[in-house]
Amino acid sequence: MPLLELNDVRARYGPIRALHGVSLRVDEGEVVALLGANGAGKTTTLRAISSMTRTSGEIVFAGRGIARRSPEFAARRGIAHVPEGRGLFPELTVWENLRMGAVGGRRGGFEQEAKRVIEYFPWIDRRRDQPAATLSGGEQQMLALGRALVSRPRLLMLDEPSLGLAPTVVRELFAIVQRLNEDEGLTVLVVEQNATIALEVSSRAYVLEVGKVAVEGTSDELQRHEGVRKSYLGY
């Protein structure tokens, strides 16, 4: 049984319809990429999963329906959603932001998890008291990722993690995501405009266009797919 399954999900913002029937699944232990151009509905899909839009259709996570509930509900069931813009608390310190990752009441003590996170991002330990707003873009992204990890999520959802970051930082970030998946079996659903790196790290991918799934398959297949190559990979 897949960890996450979407069935014919439609979503709208007020009168504007953004998703017109999206169906996808994520199995445990996978890294799945969600690709597409701007406005295709990638971010909306993640937001629908987190009940941040008006949704119709079925969203099943770990055997339970989670559609039309609330972001807190999804988070408490083990979905860590790192949104566009990272969703940090700008006036809180680095350490306080990290602490907030543990308040969702999930299993695992904070101290232990924080140690784990510091192993991946050693600089966090050195800059505990710095306000999060003063971090660089890359550091903010890493902190957001670290905070998500502290809660020991069952599913990690990343929304455009590469946005606004230098290519080396992006590589570093995705390398860490890959390590997390391979070493700890973390399931990841990543939304990306940067299709190249997303397809390198993921095992399967979906391409959204105008609110519907246009292409789906393994990442290898998509990397060879002519349409995908021309539109999203640039060759």
Site string for another protein, 11-30 (x = CB under 8 A): --xxxx--------------
Contacts with another protein in 153-192 (CB under 8 A)? none
Under the binding rule (CB under 8 A), the answer on residue 87 touching another protein is: yes
Residue from 17, 20, 54, 229 binding another protein (CB under 8 A): 54
Binding status of residue 147 toward another protein by CB under 8 A: yes
Nearer Cβ to another protein (84/209): 84
Spatial distance between the Cα atoms of 213 and 198, rounded to a whole number of angstroms:
17
Q: What are the phi and psi torsion angles at 50 (to 5°)? A: -90, 15
Amino acid 30 reads E
The CA-based diameter of the chain, rounded to the nearest angstrom, is 49
101 binds another protein (CB under 8 A): yes
When asked if residue 92 is in the footprint of another protein (CB under 8 A), the reply is yes
Residues near another protein (CB under 8 A): 13-16, 50, 52-54, 70-72, 75-76, 81, 83, 87-93, 95-96, 99-101, 103-106, 128-129, 147, 151
